[in-house]
Amino acid sequence: MTATALLAGGLKLQVAEVTAQTPSITSITFTDPAGGPLPAYVPGSHLLVQCGDGVNAYSLTGSGRSPSDYSVSVLRVASGAGGSAAMHRLRAGDRVLVSRPRSAFTPMATARHHLLIAGGIGVTPMLSHARAAAEWGMAATMIYMYRPAEGAHVPELRELLDTRLVECTDRGSFRQALAEKLSSQRLGTHLYVCGPAAFMESVLASARELGWPETRLHSEPFGTPELDAGQPFRAKLTRSGIQVEIPAGVSLLEALEGADVGVPNMCRKGVCGECSVAVLRGTPQHRDLYLSEDQKASGRTMMCCVSRSLDQELELDL
Partner 1 sequence: MSTNLIDHAIPQEAATILPERITRFPFPFSADSYRYSTNIEPALKPVSTEAGGWGTRLLDIDEHYLQELGERAAVLQRDPSRLQVLPHMRPAVWDAITTLLPIMADEHPETMSFERKGDSCRWQNRLHNLDLEFTAGVDASLPAEPLLFLGSQIQDDIALLDQRENALWLDAGLVTFAADWSLGFDVGMKFLEVHGPVPRVHDEQIITRAQQFLMNLQPGEKYRRTNWTMTVGRRLDTSTETYPEWAQDRSAVVTDPALPDRLHLRVEVQHLIRLPHSGAILFLVRTHLLSLADIARVPAWRERLGRVLAELPPDMAGYKGISRYREAASAWLLAG
Partner 2 sequence: MGPMSTPPSRTIYATFGAEAHSGAGPETGHQSGTEFRPDLAVGQASPDSLKRLKDVLNQAYVGVRLVIAGPSADILAARAAAAECGMVEEEMTLLHRVDGHRRVFCAHCRATTSMPEASAHEIGCSGCATVLSVSEHFSRRLAAHLGYAAHAEEAA
| Contact status: 129 vs partner 1 (CB under 8 A) | no
* Residue 275 contacts which entry, partner 1, ligand FES, partner 2, none (Cβ below 5-8 A, type-dependent): ligand FES
Other residues' Cβ atoms within 10 Å of the Cβ of residue 301: 20
| Contact status: 227 vs ligand FES (CB under 6 A) | no
Other residues' Cβ atoms within 10 Å of the Cβ of residue 198: 9
Exposure string (b/e) for 93-122, b if CB count within 10 Å is 16 or more?
eeebbbbebbebbebeeebebbbbbbbbbb
| Contact status: 4 vs ligand FES (CB under 6 A) | no
Q: How many residues belong to the chain?
A: 318
Q: Between 88 and 287, whose beta carbon lies closer to ligand FES? A: 287
Residues 253-282: x/- map of binding to ligand FES (CB under 6 A)?
A: ------------xxxx-xxxxxx-------
Q: Between 9 and 264, whose beta carbon lies closer to ligand FES? A: 264
* Residue 88 contacts which entry, partner 2, partner 1, ligand FES, none (Cβ below 5-8 A, type-dependent): none
| Contact status: 290 vs ligand FES (CB under 6 A) | yes
Question: Residue 187's Cα: distance from chain center in Å?
Answer: 29
**Closest by CA position to 242, among listed 142, 309, 315:** 315
Q: Sheet of 313-316: strands edge to edge?
A: 242-246, 233-237, 313-316, 276-281, 301-303
Using DSSP's 3-state secondary structure scheme, residue 206 falls into helix
Q: Can you give the binding site for partner 1, defined by CB under 8 A?
A: 37, 39-43, 45, 64-66, 68, 100-103, 106, 108-110, 135-136, 215, 225-226, 266-269, 271-273, 289-290, 292
Q: Can you give the binding site for partner 2, defined by CB under 8 A?
A: 110-112, 180, 182-189, 210-216
